[in-house]
Amino acid sequence: MATRAAQTHLTPEEYIALERKAIPDAETVRSEYINGKIIGRSSSNWAHNLITGNITAGLYTCLKSCGCFVFANQMRVSIPSVKSYFYPDVVVCGEPRFEDDVFDILLNPIVIVEVISPSTEAYDRGDKFARYRQLHSLKEYILVSQDKVHVERYTRQTEDWLLTDYQNLEQQLPFTSIQCELPLHEIYQRVTFPS
Which CATH number fits the domain that encloses residue 75?
A: 3.90.1570.10
Three-class DSSP category at 47: helix
Q: How far apart are CA 155 and CA 138, in angstroms?
A: 9
**Does residue 59 sit within a domain?**
yes
CA 8, 10, 12, 16 torsion-angle sign:
negative
Distance of CA 124 to the CA centre of its chain: 9
pLDDT for 42: 66
CA distances from 88 to 57, 74, 104, 136 (A): 16, 8, 13, 17
Taking each continuous run of H as one helix and of E as one strand, the counts in the chain are: 5, 14
**Does residue 152 sit within a domain?**
yes
Low-confidence ranges of the chain (pLDDT < 70): 1-8, 23-29, 42-43
The number of residues in the chain equals 195
pLDDT for 22: 72
The answer, as to whether pTM is greater than 0.75, is: yes
pLDDT for 166: 98
pLDDT for 4: 47
**Does residue 4 sit within a domain?**
no
**Does residue 29 sit within a domain?**
no
**Does residue 100 sit within a domain?**
yes
**Does residue 81 sit within a domain?**
yes
**Does residue 114 sit within a domain?**
yes
pLDDT for 23: 59
Domain that includes residue 77, residue range: 45-187
pLDDT for 126: 95
**Does residue 86 sit within a domain?**
yes
Q: What DSSP state is assigned to residue 73?
A: S
Q: Count of domains in the chain? A: 1
Angle at alpha carbon of residue 46, lines to 77 and 147, rounded to 5°: 85
